[in-house]
Amino acid sequence: MQTKRRQFLKRIGTATVGLSLFPTIVKASALGRGGHVAPSDRITMILIGSGSQGRSDLNNFLNLNNVQPIAVCDIDDSQAAKAKKMIDNKMGNNDCRVYKDFREILEKEKPDTALLALPDHWHSLIACAVANKKIDIYGEKPMARSIVEGRAIVNAVERNNIIWQTGSWQRSVNNFRQAAELTRNGRIGKIDYVEVGLPNGGINIGNPPVQPVPEGVDWDMWLGPAPKVPFRGVLHWDWRWMMDYSGGQMTDWAGHHIDIAHWGLGFDHTGPISIEGTGRPNNDGIFNVPVEYDFICEYANGLKIRVANASKLKHGMGTVWNGSDGWIHVGRGKLEASDENILKEKIGKNEIQLYKSTNHWKNFIDCVVSRKETIAPAETGHRSISVALLGEIAMITGEKLHWDPVNEKFTDNNVYATRLLKKPYRAPWKYPA
Amino acid sequence: MRNIKRILTILFIAVAVLMDTSCTQKPELKALIVTGQNNHNWQSSHIFLNSILKKSGIFTVDTKISPKKGKDMSGFVVDFTPYDVIVLDYNGDEWPEQTKTNFVNYVKNGGGVVVYHAADNAFPDWPEYNEIIGLGGWYGRNESSGPYVYIADGKVVRDNSPGQGGSHGAQHEFLIEALQPNHPILKGLPEKWLHAKDELYSELRGPAKNMEILAYAYADKKYKGDGRNEPMLMTIRYGKGRVFHTAMGHCGGGLFAPAMEGAGFVVTLQRGAEWAATGKVTQKVPAYFPTETKSLTWEFFEDIDHDLTSVINRMKNYDIGKSYDCFNILKKLVSENTGNSEKLKQYNTIILDLLKSDDTSIECKKILCKDFSWMANDSYRTVYDMLKKNPELADEAQYALDRMGN
């Protein structure tokens, strides 16, 4: 039934360029904002992971008025309940189904799309399972917790020919696109050096004792493929400060400012050839991700990208491209350049026009209909996080790494670094094929 | 029969408790850090002070955190009497009267105090506090607070000139020179040593009663200093109490504090705290110390480059809830020495010995399997295989084998 719907949507997509804003008599082209969207024309969606980020994305999808979430899955009953309430309120019914095991929701539901908002260590396994069901995916960044896992997602997306949007929503914000477009079109000349400033880490809760698992939480399922450890009070949000689940601010923000750096350089399908740097965690405590970090990537054309705490860099948070004719700095709510006239430049019709999207969530749904690539497809998302993951490996081994971005291996077959390209999975979980 | 069983059980437990298989000396002295408001980064400094005191091996450490600035302080009543030494990391709102009285009485009756850096900025209008700290700076201190005290021509000078109390130039590394090298706090340490980059507190002024200057530093004008030899380490007697005052150890907004990581700062603070608590210093002088020309930074507040026995011991006895820093130390040493085959050999030996020993805690072995398997060489394989046979470690050993690959 879903396949027929997809074919139907594909025909609609080509027939109506852009989605109609007003409801029309013809039901087939009734998809659109503002008007009532008949149930059969809505894009159905399931959520896997309905924490604060998932619910934030959910809100953005609900505001599109043509998305119909039909089920949520979360290992924490209370999180699932919050999402169900949001959905039921919007839909005006009690129909949203709740699951606790992603295998069950995938077995029983047949949605058009899935919203995945999970801790990093779960990204690959679940994304591949969803892709194999030929469900289009809005997947939160960072792509994955390791490079091998990230590539597995890209392969699964391509193999199953599904639409993927990475949650790198800055691409759908005007100043970021403007900055990247000016840079791509040589307005600051030849780029030789880029700086990416990311937030400080530093949160520290010391060494808490073992604690009872909260009511309604399946702790073993939360852990999934990560090593089995007892519950010590860290569940939502703060898992990102623990290496088993995330790489801290470095990996959390790679999908934002490193992603934009690549965009301005046209590097969405490539990576560095060498990486070296240092990182320092809190001296003590269970939060063991790097809180102070500084690494440099060199690319094949000689260009260098430095990624470090914003507090160490001249321009602070965001991305700075330095070229032969000036510099451009872009961050949230910020766009500045060595010369303000650079920012007034218009991009000509025959120049590089970067993908324009003004709503990241709408862009995904539009592409689900049109079958066109999204603004932040899987390969792009994988390349963005790869920079941070390589930086992380360089910090752990303390070595300068030499990388082959085409074949995604170390050119000197560095044993240590190669081992760190993937994380062992706990039985019974298996790596996506 | 039941009673005999009960007695035997109690005896058995008592014996088990007395048998300390880890053979570590239990810390004898109790320290209390008072913090919660400061014109510096107290959120970090109190954690660093905690580490520094714990690493000496002779202190247990409690922390009392005040309400935020401007909030109701009436509940901030502190009983200092259970403690051998109070470490002050506070400047801000006035303490409740009861707490102030408790503090003064505590010191008068023989208590120990460490005045750490900007704690000497606190309470300019509380006379007893200023007598206890000896010298202070900022917040309106001037000639009415007492004289400037500094060193000139090898002698202590008390200068009643008018002027503000407290200043410092740009942060830099500066030379610490002992005025009383035989004082217990300094005995055995080099007489001159280069301190890490720090604020050089100058123009402190106060009652300076019963105060001894142990060491000083020259505030060079090229760093916008006042050109005087300023006191850096002082002791004050107040009633029966002993006060150790260190002007060093700035903790700024960054994530780490290079000044506090200076080995000289760490060691003098540990020794000063012990002296304040007992009047004696039993701690051994470290084998490695900053020299006159080269400063020394201890990122983990201990000499990990030369002495790993304490680190290894902490790993061996690790359990959930205990300090995790021993593993961070080993990770740092490994990442800094992957190119040094001799050091790497040493670290591999440490890890393998811990994995093989029956005295190593299970939780330690789990972490070693998980976090250090990326660097495993062939000799690890048999060890991991052996650990796999233990049901408590099977998962982690498998993780390690998976990580090693084929």
Nearest by CB: B338 against A200, A311, A399: A399
Q: Are residues B394 and B330 in the same domain?
A: yes
Query: Any chain A CB within 8 A of the CB of B402?
Result: yes
Strand residues in B14-103 grouped as ranges (E): 29-35, 59-65, 85-88
Cβ distance A427 to B404 less than 8 Å, yes or no, reads no
Q: Which is nearest to B229 in space by CA: B249, B247, B210?
A: B247
Using a CB-CB cut-off of 8 Å, the residues of chain A touching B395 are 227-228, 426-427
In this prediction, residue A203 carries a pLDDT of: 86
**Residue the block writes with tokens 């759908």:** A172
pLDDT at B384: 98
Cα torsion angle, A43, A48, A49, A53, sign? negative
B186-214 per-position pLDDT tens digit = 999 999 999 999 999 999 999 999 999 99
∠ CA A330-A335-A341, rounded to 5°: 125
Instruction: Looking at the structure, tell me whether residues A143 and A237 fall in a common domain.
Output: no
Nearest by CB to A424, which of B320, B325, B403? Answer: B403
Across the beta sheet with A43-48, the strand order is: A97-99, A67-73, A43-48, A113-116, A136-139, A164-166
Query: What DSSP state is assigned to residue A65?
Result: S
For residue B401, the distance in angstroms to the closest alpha carbon of chain A comes to 9
Closest to B372 (Cα-Cα) out of B397, B389, B394:
B397
**Is the Cβ pair A416, B322 closer than 8 Å?**
no
What pLDDT is recorded for position A40? 73
Is B300 part of any domain? no
B111 & B216 share domain: yes
Q: Does A106 contact chain B (CB < 8 Å)? A: no
Whole-angstrom distance, CA of residue B197 vs CA of residue A132:
57
pLDDT digits (tens, 9 = 90+) for B12-67: 444 444 444 444 567 789 999 999 999 999 999 999 999 999 999 999 999 999 99
Pairwise CA distance, residues A387 & A119, whole Å: 19
What is the rounded distance in angstroms from the CA atom of residue A19 to the CA atom of residue A369?
A: 10
Backbone dihedral angles phi then psi of residue B402, each to the nearest 5 degrees: -60, -40
Q: Assess whether pLDDT exceeds 70 at residue B3.
A: no
What are the tens digits of pLDDT across the range A2-40?
A: 444 555 554 444 333 333 333 333 333 334 444 567 767
What is the distance in angstroms between the Cα of B88 and the nearest Cα belonging to chain A?
21
- Do residue A412 and residue A270 come from a single domain? yes
- Structurally, chain B folds into a number of domains equal to 2
Strands B29-35, A318-323: pairing kind: unpaired
Neighbours of B291 (CB within 10 A): 12
Query: Could A227 and B396 be called an inter-chain contact, meaning their C-beta atoms sit closer than 8 Å?
Result: yes
Does A194 map to a domain?
yes
Interface contact B256-A286, CB threshold 8 A: no
Q: Give domain status of residue A425, yes or no.
A: no
The average confidence (pLDDT) of chain B is 94
Nearest CA among A196, A36, A57, A191 for reference residue A117: A57
- A166 with A230, same domain: the answer is no
CATH of the domain at B100: 3.40.50.880
Lowest mean pLDDT: which of A43-47, A52-56, B217-221, B255-259?
B255-259
**Number of domains present in the structure of chain A:** 2
Which residues constitute the domain of residue B359?
A: 309-404
Residues A103 and A178 in one domain: no
Contact B338 A396 (CB under 8 A): no
**Within this chain, do residues B230 and B124 fall inside the same structural domain, yes or no?**
yes
Interior angle at CA B134, CA B132 and CA B135, nearest 5? 135
E strand or H helix at A362, and its extent?
helix A360-370
In DSSP terms, A99 is beta-bridged to: A73
Q: What stretches of A283-385 adopt beta strand conformation (E)?
A: 290-298, 304-309, 318-323, 326-331, 334-337
Tell me which chain A residue has its CA closest to the CA of residue B302. Answer: A283
Say if A406 falls within a structural domain: yes
On whether residue B10 sits in a domain, the answer given is no
Amino acid at A153: I
> What's residue A306's pLDDT?
98
Q: Evaluate if pTM is beyond 0.95.
A: no
CATH code, domain with A68:
3.40.50.720
Nearest to A284 among B325, B373, B402 (CB): B325
Asked, for residue B18, whether it belongs to a domain, the answer is no
CATH number at residue A404: 3.30.360.10
Rounded to whole angstroms, the Cα distance separating A365 from A32 reads: 11
| ipTM of the modeled complex | 0.89
Structural domain for A323, as ranges: 173-347+378-419
- Is B335 in CB contact (< 8 Å) with chain A? yes
Cβ–Cβ gap B320/A204 under 8 Å? no
Whether A94 is covered by a domain: the verdict is yes
Over the stretch B135-178, which tens digit does the pLDDT of each residue have?
999 999 999 999 999 999 999 999 999 999 999 999 999 999 99
The answer to whether residue B152 is domain-embedded is yes
Phi, psi dihedrals of residue A84, rounded to the nearest 5°: -60, -40
Q: Is residue A17 part of a domain?
A: yes
Residues (pLDDT < 50) of chain A are 1-4, 10-34
In a domain, residue A258? The reply is yes
**B157-166: which pairs have CB atoms within 8 A and are 24 or more residues apart?**
B158/B208, B163/B203, B164/B138, B164/B203, B165/B136, B165/B137, B165/B138, B165/B141, B165/B203, B165/B204, B165/B205, B165/B206, B166/B121, B166/B136, B166/B137, B166/B138, B166/B139, B166/B141, B166/B201, B166/B202, B166/B203, B166/B204, B166/B205
Closest CA to B51 of B324, B381, B253: B324
What pLDDT is attached to residue B370?
Answer: 97
Vertex B324 angle, CA B321 and B328, to 5° = 165
Do B348 and B205 share a structural domain? no
Chain centre to alpha carbon of residue A277: 24
